[in-house]
Amino acid sequence: MIVHLDTRSPVPLFEQLRAQIERLIASGQLRPGTKLPPIRHLATDLGLARATVNKVYDALARDGLVETAGRHGTIVLDGSGVTTTATDLSAAADTLVVIAHQLGLDPTAAHRALDEALRRL
Amino acid sequence: MNLGAGMGSFAVLLLALGIAIAAGLSLAVGGTHVSVRDVAWIAGTPESSPAEVDVYSRYLQRHRRHRMAGGLLGALFAVILGGRWYGSITIGVGQQNPLADVLFCGLGGVLVGAFSAESFRLSEPASTTVSASLAEHAGASRPDVIRAARGICLASLVGGGLVAATGHGLVPLWIAIGGLIATLVAEATQAAITGRRRPVLSDRAQAVDLRMRSFASTSVARLELAVAVLTAAWTVSKVPGAGTGPFLLVQDLTVIAGFVITLVLLHRASPRPPRKWSSELS
C-alpha cells in the first residue's frame, strides 16, 4: 500500500496524504482493523514533519475513518460509507482533459501521459 | 583478570600508543574488508546482483569500521583510565572499576560504534514525488533477547539500589547505572534501525533493506544482552559482605558465567559470518 506525494503540486502535502489514505480506506484496500504506521515512521518515510502526519491522522479520525487506540496505534475503521472514489477519479480526469486542452495537446498525447503515469506507479 | 598493577604513567602512555597504532593499522590493512562470502551471509543467498553486492558491502564495511573504531577507543579509554587512576587494567570483572575494564569499555565503544553506523539517512532520489508504504515497519528481530537484556539491566539496578538502601555502599548502583546508559545506547540503536526511512523503489530494494535491518537488529540485540550480563556480573562482584560460604561461591560462579556469556554474545554479535557458515547452509 503505497502513497505518493507531489512536492510541486499546489495541493498541500497534508491534503494529498489525507485524500490518498481516505481513498484507500473507501476502496477497501485498507481493510478495517488494519494498523496504520506510527506517525514518526510515516513522517520519516515521507520526509514530512511529524505534526503534518499527526494532522492527517486527526482529520481521518474526525471523519470516522480511523481511531487512535493509544499504544496500539491508529486502526482503520469501516470506510464503506465514504463515496468519494468515483467522483475523485472523474474530477482528476476532468483536470487532465482541461490541462491537455489548454496546452493544445491532442487526445493521443493525453492518453500517452496517462499511460506513462500509470506505468510509473 | 588484572593485567598490570601499579603501572607508571609512561607505561600507560606506551600501551595506549601501542593500541592506537594497532587500531590504525588494522583499520587501514583490511580489518573491514568485505568478502563475497560475507555478502552471501548478510544477503542470505549467494546470488545477488552487482548493485546489491555494492550496497551490502558498503553497509557491512561501515558497520565494521564504526564498531572497530568505537571498540578500540573504548579499550583505549579503559587502558588510560585503569593505568593512570586505578593502577591496573582489567579484562572482565576484576577488583577495580568497570571503567578500568577493557571488555566493559570496549563493549560500550562497540555499541556507540554500532549506533554511529546506523545513524545515517537514506538519500532521496532526485524527484518531485515522495513515496512511502503504509505497511508497518518490521520490529526488532530478536525481541526475546532485548527483553532478557532489559530484565537483567533492571535486576542490576534493583540489586544495586537495595545494596545502597541497606547502607552497603553505592558502587554496585553506580555500576548498574553505567550499564543502564550502555543499554540505552543499544535501545537508541534499535530505534534507529527499525525507524529509518524505507525505500519503496522496488521489491528487491525492500528485500535488501529488510536483510540489512534484520542483521543489524539481531547483532545489536546481542550486544545489548552482552552489556547487560557484564553489568550484572560487575554489580554482583561488588556486593560487599560476601564473606565465605555459599554466597561467595554463587558470587564467583555468577561472575565467571557472566564473563563467559558476554564473550559468547560478543562473538555472536560480530558483523561477520560464523567460521563454519557456508552459503549452501543458508
ipTM of the complex: 0.73
A58 and A33 part of one domain: yes
Examine the domain organization and report whether A49 and A22 are in the same domain: yes
| Interface contact A1-B135, CB threshold 8 A | yes
Q: What pLDDT sits at residue B3?
A: 53
User: Cβ–Cβ of A4/B130 closer than 8 Å?
Assistant: yes
pLDDT class of A121 with cuts at 50, 70, 90 = low
Residue A103 lies in a domain: yes
- The domain of A103 spans 85-120
* A116 touches B at CB < 8 Å: no
Q: Do B196 and A30 touch (CB under 8 A)?
A: no
Residue B274 lies in a domain: no
Q: Does some domain include residue A112? A: yes
Q: Are B182 and B220 in contact (CB under 8 A)?
A: no
Say if residue A28 is in the same domain as residue A70: yes
Q: Which residues of A touch B131 (CB under 8 A)?
A: 2-5, 46
Provide, as residue numbers in chain B, all residues whose Cβ is less than 8 Å from the Cβ of A42: 132, 134
Query: Quick one: A68 and A25 in the same domain?
Result: yes
Rounded to whole angstroms, how far apart are CA atoms B53 and B157? Answer: 44
Enumerate residue ranges in chain B where pLDDT < 70: 1-16, 19-20, 23-32, 121-126, 201, 241-244, 279-282
In a domain, B3, yes or no: no
Q: Are residues A17 and A72 in the same domain?
A: yes
Any domain includes B126: no
Q: Would you say residue A7 lies in a domain?
A: no
Which of B79, B58, B80, B77 has the alpha carbon at shortest distance from B69? B77
Q: Which helix (H) or strand (E) holds B118?
A: helix B102-118
Query: Same domain for A18 and A67?
Result: yes
Q: Is residue B159 part of a domain?
A: yes
Q: How far is B122 from chain A (nearest CA, A)?
A: 10
**Could you say which DSSP state residue B84 is in?**
I
User: What is the pLDDT at residue B30?
Assistant: 59
Whether A52 and A89 map to the same domain: the answer is no
User: Chain B: residue nearest A36 by CA?
Assistant: B134
pLDDT at B201: 66
Asked if the structure places residue B74 within a domain, the reply is: yes
Asked if A47 reaches chain B (Cβ–Cβ under 8 Å), the answer is yes
Smallest CA–CA distance from A43 into chain B, residue: B197
Q: Residue B138: what pLDDT?
A: 80
Shared domain check, A93 and A68: no
Residues belonging to chain B with any Cβ–Cβ distance to chain A shorter than 8 Å? 124, 128-137, 195-198, 200
Question: What pLDDT shows up at residue A103?
Answer: 83
- Domain span at residue B258 reads 9-120+139-268
Provide the domain count of chain A: 2
**Does A66 lie in the same domain as A34?**
yes
pLDDT at B124: 64
Burial class (CB within 10 angstroms; exposed 0-12, middle 13-18, buried 19+) of B121: exposed
Q: Is residue B81 in some structural domain?
A: yes
Nearest to B146 by CA among B226, B214, B209, B67: B226
Residue A36 lies in a domain: yes
In chain B, how many domains are there?
1
| Residue B131 is assigned to a structural domain of this protein | no
Closest-CA distance, B267 to chain A, in angstroms, reads: 32
Residues A62, A27 share a domain: yes
Residue A102 in any domain: the answer is yes
Residue B274's pLDDT is 80
Q: Tell me, yes or no, whether A21 and A67 share the same domain.
A: yes
| pLDDT score, position B2 | 55
Residues A68 and A110 in one domain: no
Nearest CA in chain A to B136: A37
For residue A8, being part of any structural domain is answered with no
Among the partner-chain residues B131, B137, B196, the one whose CB lies closest to the CB of A37 is B137
Residue B234 lies in a domain: yes
